[in-house]
Amino acid sequence: MYFEQTELLNIAFEAQGVSSGEPVVLLHGWPDSPASWMPIASKLQDRGFRTIAPYLRGSHPTKFLSPATPRFAGAVAMAQDVVDLADKLGISEFAVVGHDWGARIAYTLAALYPKRIRALATLALAYQPRGEFHLGSFQQSKQFWYQFFQCTDAGAEAVRRDPIGFARIQWDTWSPEGWFAEEDFELASRHFDRPDWAEITLNAYRSRYLKGEAFDSRYDELQARLKDNVLLDVPTVMIQGASDFCDLPSASEGQEKHFRNGYKRILLSGVGHFPHRENPSAVADAVLHLLMENGSHSK
């Protein structure tokens, strides 16, 4: 594990592969950790790529430098965190692979910093033009119960009191039964039982529905730019589990019109919300194909 200090954070990240390899940034989802990328990262490293998997803001051991910094979970803030880390590492251009929250960050990076993003692979989450969240159908709303739960005072307190128990419900219900081993959850969840994890989680979801949640005005300009953006110029592959019980597969259908330089949606049968954990071989193959199609010089 490595650390780099930016203006607001001491960012923890996993980095492996030859230092001269083309960089691929792996962005974990919620509730998860960089450990989820190990099988994918290994295959990328075998092909000569350098993988960098940061712990997102709120995920221990990444830490805010000041208690006064708003615990703001906006995608623009997390995208800037990634750019700040890349700048610290001297990386001007990189590919991004993102799952769930990581996918939202990846789309935001492509919208705000298209010249820095070589290629994009997103898992489980459809592109949301202008960064706008839309509730969707009644069936989708039913799947989003955990978001509404957090919007009550009692629900928010329950998340703070037992973040690991809250996360476990999502793992148990977002994919077909039997998709993970106990040690997988234990490895990921050791990062959840920290105050900032709950606060960032709550801000991410409560701010969709409630006024007065924490925000950070330093990202206003980025947010304004994102609101003007509908089309993405970065070549993209979207990997969707056909049995995703959180973000319904129908949400990611028919999105080609938003991508000017290539878009492909891959539907994985029998796979739920965590494609890279449930079928790492298929995900690694799709990512490698994307990279090779878009000018990779790794072996």
pLDDT at residue 55 is higher than 60: yes
| Confidence tier at 220 by pLDDT (50, 70, 90) | very high
Cα separation, 61 vs 75, in Å, equals 20
Position 294 scores a pLDDT of 86
Position 297 scores a pLDDT of 58
pLDDT at residue 63 is higher than 70: yes
Rg (alpha carbons) of the chain, rounded to whole number: 18
Position 289 scores a pLDDT of 96
pLDDT at residue 36 is higher than 60: yes
Tens digit of pLDDT for each residue in 239-271?
Answer: 999 999 999 999 999 999 999 999 999 999 999
- For the chain, the average pLDDT equals 96
Cα separation, 127 vs 137, in Å, equals 17
Question: Domain 2-293: what homologous superfamily?
Answer: Alpha/Beta hydrolase fold, catalytic domain (3.40.50.1820)
Position 298 scores a pLDDT of 61
Tens digit of pLDDT for each residue in 113-152?
Answer: 999 999 999 999 999 999 999 888 999 999 999 999 999 9
Cα separation, 11 vs 56, in Å, equals 8
Q: What is the mean pLDDT of residues 76-91?
A: 98
Q: What is the mean pLDDT of residues 179-187?
A: 97
Number of helices (H), then strands (E), in the chain: 12, 9
Cα separation, 257 vs 263, in Å, equals 9
Domain ranges of the chain: 2-293
Tens digit of pLDDT for each residue in 198-210?
Answer: 999 999 999 999 9
Q: What is the mean pLDDT of residues 20-30?
A: 97
| Confidence tier at 299 by pLDDT (50, 70, 90) | low
pLDDT at residue 54 is higher than 70: yes
Contact between 216 and 228 (Cβ < 8 Å): no
